Amino acid sequence: MSGTDLGRHLEQVSAIAVEAGKLTLKYRRDPRVVEKGDHGDDTSPVTDADLAANHYITDHLAALDPRTPIISEESKSADYATRKDWRRFWLVDPLDGTKEFLKGSDEFTVNIALIDNLEPVLGVIYVPAQELLYYAEKDAGSWRRRGDGHPVRIFSSVPDLSKGLTVVESKSHPSPELEEYLKDLPVKERVSAGSSLKFCLVAEGLADIYPRMNPTMEWDVAAGDCIYRNSARLGQRTSSLTYNKPTLKNGSFVMGFR
């Protein structure tokens, strides 16, 4: 796919994410937890907002790009035997941070990423309650836009350990493994954030690293990974995350050091 095609997709996918995010806001006053779908984390709640956003996103992505398959948290995915040779597909988390959504927090997001040749080449994260949009395209940088304002390019940098680290961590997933990991690092500040906003805080230089010791799914991380990778001033940041694994599950990772 050419850069022109990718850029056109980015504008259209950003619009899809924003409209799906607006849908989620309609359910904030009285969110209803419904039965979990056919895959994913059985301990994670799913609401009518998740399902409404999922329906909107998958329908519009299919219309935009009918030849590219979609893997979404809230839809039944193809089994590995079917998808093992896929090189290009969409990864969607229609409402990331459902626990934060149910608590009334503003820190939930809509995540859409395009995987091409097994790396995220397009990523969009929309924060509906803040009218805040992050997006990135391979070789075109990472950007932030609030409301109808002008896009601002965002940058991260490799941390200077001598100055101490600002660490962003999950609000909903603390772990003894994280404490063990951090104990030998020069931590200056710890900041908690919900959903995929943790990637965005690193990408825009508000945090140095994001260590995640608990498992995640590929749809949780793909859009944020793309925004992080393309937040370098020159070239790309390096990520350990991989895609189209048999279980779609990630082990621990740390964003920000490379």
Whole-angstrom distance, CA of residue 184 vs CA of residue 18:
41
118 is in an annotated binding site: no
The answer to the question of whether 64 is labelled as a binding residue is no
With beta carbons less than 8 A apart as the criterion, state whether 91 and 218 touch: yes
Q: Would the annotation count 97 as a binding residue?
A: yes
- Which parts of the chain fold into alpha helices (H)? 3-25, 48-64, 80-83, 98-103, 176-182, 197-203, 218-229
Question: One-letter amino acid identity for 163?
Answer: K
- The reply to whether 148 sits in an annotated binding site is no
The answer to whether 133 is annotated as binding is no
CA 31: distance to chain centroid?
22
Pairing of the two strands 187-193 and 210-212: unpaired
98 is in an annotated binding site: yes
95 annotated ligand-binding residue = yes
Please state, in angstroms and rounded to a whole number, the distance separating the CA atoms of residues 234 and 175.
34
- The binding site comprises 73, 93, 95-98, 220
- The binding site for substrate comprises 73, 95-98, 220
- The binding site for Mg(2+) comprises 73, 93, 95-96, 220
